[in-house]
């Protein structure tokens, strides 16, 4: 009640221009067009150009995330928000935006940063970008897997630090994929594409765990459905390709790492929140598992003093799964189009129902 009142007063103050507009916002001419806020300037100009043809667009001018205070101020009176996965869309922000807000579109397939039920309560439509980034993310997953099991980053460092003294039979060896059991956690679009890309590496078996069985899709690569426990116990490689939900939060906990094989390679390109990172650190440190490749962590960015960064058997990338140039251009176009369609009461390209 109090929070609601505060946001009402705050919204009125912003509308009455009591707060100065930030110099870090790029605004188009004030007019009667619907108002859209874009939270990053570098979302591929095509998306912003599409929006500018139809709307009054305000864009955050720095390539770093909008500070929360700024976001709360800028969202007042907007009809649409073009956001990224680093922008938390919760009740506080939606209250601040007010009843004019009709659509939130995120340039991502994951939407764990958006409070879906709060949006639904307010009849705010939600757009996202599945499908278009599936191949790019599957590709990056394979790159991370190969870099982790064959120790590419570790080996590359040795070239620069003088550690490369001669060719050596046992130096920089790692487990290959041929003959291995590859376990995929989450057999949706990305999990299935990862499975297809694993086949040419001649694994012994591909197994998967998913909320429901996917016999048709699995038969394309000869993958078999297993329960979570069997996935943990039998896989030489575990690849996490599953959305973060209350059910999957920290599902890879101490217990789970204890059940994995000692030669297991753990790969995560979905969300850091699926992993209890302290337990992962412990498992890697004690060599309970062989290694990990992470494109996602908690938090992001990972602080420079995080213990995971001290481990040689942990390869960390800065959340670049979909960072393929054409993919990001398409994602920008789709996000903008989702907003345009929603504000015209039309069917969006991809909407979370
Ligand atoms: C990236 O992580 C995305 O959700 O698109």
272 CB less than 6 Å from ligand 1? Answer: no
Distance between CA 237 and CA 292 in Å, rounded? Answer: 10
Distance between CA 174 and CA 293 in Å, rounded? Answer: 13
Residue 316's CB: how many other CB atoms inside 10 A? Answer: 19
Mutate to test the pocket of ligand 1, among 83, 86, 109, 330 (most ligand atoms within 8 A of CB): 109
**Cα(108) to centroid(ligand 1), Å:** 4
The residue whose CA is least distant from atom 5 of ligand 1 is 108
Q: Which of these, 91, 96, 74, 79, lies nearest to 11 by C-alpha position?
A: 96
Residues 6+ apart with CB under 8 A from 20: none
Question: What's the confidence (pLDDT) of residue 22?
Answer: 58
**Cα(32) to centroid(ligand 1), Å:** 34
Q: Which of these, 119, 122, 111, lies nearest to 273 by C-alpha position?
A: 111
Tokens of 222: 């000869």
Ordered by start, the domain boundaries in the chain are 2-130+326-343, 134-316
Q: What is the CA radius of gyration of the chain?
A: 23
Distance between CA 339 and CA 234 in Å, rounded? Answer: 45
CA distances from 312 to 44, 162, 236, 285 (A): 35, 17, 19, 9
Question: What's the confidence (pLDDT) of residue 248?
Answer: 98
Q: Which atom of ligand 1 is nearest to the CA of 270?
A: 2
Question: What's the confidence (pLDDT) of residue 11?
Answer: 56
Q: Which atom of ligand 1 is nearest to the CA of 133?
A: 5
Confidence band for 1, pLDDT divided at 50, 70 and 90: very low
Tokens of 179: 């003959």
Distance between CA 12 and CA 15 in Å, rounded? Answer: 5
* Long-range contacts (CB closer than 8 Å, 24 or more residues apart) made by 136-139: 136/321, 136/322, 136/323, 136/324, 136/327, 137/109, 137/190, 137/193, 137/269, 137/321, 137/322, 138/190, 138/193, 138/194, 138/196, 138/197, 139/197, 139/324
Residues 63 and 40: beta-carbon distance below 8 Å: yes
- Mean of the per-residue pLDDT values of the chain: 94
Q: Does domain 134-316 have CATH number 3.40.50.300?
A: no
- Each residue's pLDDT tens digit, 194-232: 999 999 999 999 999 999 999 999 999 999 999 999 999
Query: Dihedral of CA 222/227/232/234: which sign?
Result: negative
Burial profile 265-294: b = 16 or more Cβ within 10 angstroms, e = fewer: bbbbbbbbbbbbbebbbebbeeebbbbbbb
**Cα(223) to centroid(ligand 1), Å:** 25
Mutate to test the pocket of ligand 1, among 321, 323, 327, 335 (most ligand atoms within 8 A of CB): 321
Q: Which atom of ligand 1 is nearest to the CA of 128?
A: 5
Question: What's the confidence (pLDDT) of residue 191?
Answer: 98
Q: Which atom of ligand 1 is nearest to the CA of 108?
A: 5
In this structure, CATH architecture of domain 2-130+326-343: 3-Layer(aba) Sandwich (3.40)
> Does the pLDDT at position 3 exceed 50?
no
Question: What's the confidence (pLDDT) of residue 43?
Answer: 83
Residues 155 and 173: beta-carbon distance below 8 Å: no
**Cα(257) to centroid(ligand 1), Å:** 25
Mean pLDDT score, 56-83: 96
Q: For the chain, give me the number of helices (H) and strands (E)?
A: 13, 13
- Each residue's pLDDT tens digit, 239-297: 999 999 999 999 999 999 999 999 999 999 999 999 999 999 999 999 999 999 999 99
Q: Which of these, 80, 83, 2, 77, lies nearest to 39 by C-alpha position?
A: 83
Residue count (the chain): 353
Distance between CA 352 and CA 125 in Å, rounded? Answer: 8
186 CB less than 6 Å from ligand 1? Answer: no
Catalytic site positions:
319
Question: What's the confidence (pLDDT) of residue 308?
Answer: 98
| Continuous segment of H or E residues that includes residue 232 | helix 228-234
Identical topology for domains 2-130+326-343 and 134-316: yes
Query: Dihedral of CA 7/13/16/17: which sign?
Result: negative
**Cα(110) to centroid(ligand 1), Å:** 5
Question: What's the confidence (pLDDT) of residue 350?
Answer: 98
Question: Percent of the chain at pLDDT above 70?
Answer: 92
The residue whose CA is least distant from atom 1 of ligand 1 is 108
Question: What's the confidence (pLDDT) of residue 18?
Answer: 43
Q: Is the pTM of this model over 0.85?
A: yes
110 CB less than 6 Å from ligand 1? Answer: yes
Residues 6+ apart with CB under 8 A from 69: none
- Each residue's pLDDT tens digit, 32-55: 899 999 999 988 789 999 999 999
Strand 80-83 versus strand 56-60 pairing type: unpaired
> Does the pLDDT at position 20 exceed 90?
no
């Amino acid at each position: 009640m109090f929070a609601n009142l505060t946001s009402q007063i705050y919204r009125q103050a912003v509308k009455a221009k009591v707060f100065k507009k930030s110099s870090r916002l790029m605004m188009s001419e004030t007019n009667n067009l619907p108002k859209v806020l874009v939270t990053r300037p570098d979302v591929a100009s095509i998306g912003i150009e599409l929006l500018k043809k139809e709307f009054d667009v305000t864009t955050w001018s720095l390539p770093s995330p909008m500070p929360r205070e700024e976001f709360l101020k800028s969202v007042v009176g907007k009809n649409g928000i073009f956001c990224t996965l680093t922008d938390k869309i919760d009740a506080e922000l939606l209250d601040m935006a007010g009843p004019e807000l009709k659509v939130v579109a995120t340039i991502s397939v994951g939407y764990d940063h958006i409070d879906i039920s709060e949006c639904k309560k307010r009849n705010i439509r939600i757009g996202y970008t599945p499908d278009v980034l599936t191949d790019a993310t599957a590709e990056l997953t394979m790159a991370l897997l190969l870099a982790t099991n064959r120790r590419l980053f570790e080996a590359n460092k040795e070239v620069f630090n003088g550690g490369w003294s001669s060719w050596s039979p046992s130096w920089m060896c790692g487990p290959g994929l041929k003959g291995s059991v590859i376990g995929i956690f989450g057999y949706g679009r990305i999990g299935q594409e990862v499975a297809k890309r694993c086949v040419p590496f001649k694994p012994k078996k591909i197994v998967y765990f998913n909320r429901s069985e996917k016999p048709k899709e699995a038969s394309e690569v000869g993958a078999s459905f297993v329960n979570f426990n069997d996935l943990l116990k039998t896989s030489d490689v575990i690849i996490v390709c599953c959305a973060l939900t209350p059910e999957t939060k920290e599902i890879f906990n101490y217990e789970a790492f204890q059940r994995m094989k000692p030669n297991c390679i753990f790969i995560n390109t979905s969300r850091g929140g699926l992993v209890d990172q302290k337990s992962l650190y412990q498992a890697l440190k004690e060599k309970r598992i062989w290694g990990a490749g992470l494109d996602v962590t908690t938090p992001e960015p990972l602080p420079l003093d995080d213990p995971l960064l001290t481990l040689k058997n942990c390869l960390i990338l800065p959340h670049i799964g979909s960072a393929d140039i054409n993919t990001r251009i398409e994602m920008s176009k789709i996000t903008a189009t989702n907003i345009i369609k929603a504000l015209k009461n039309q069917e969006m390209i991809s909407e979370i129902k």
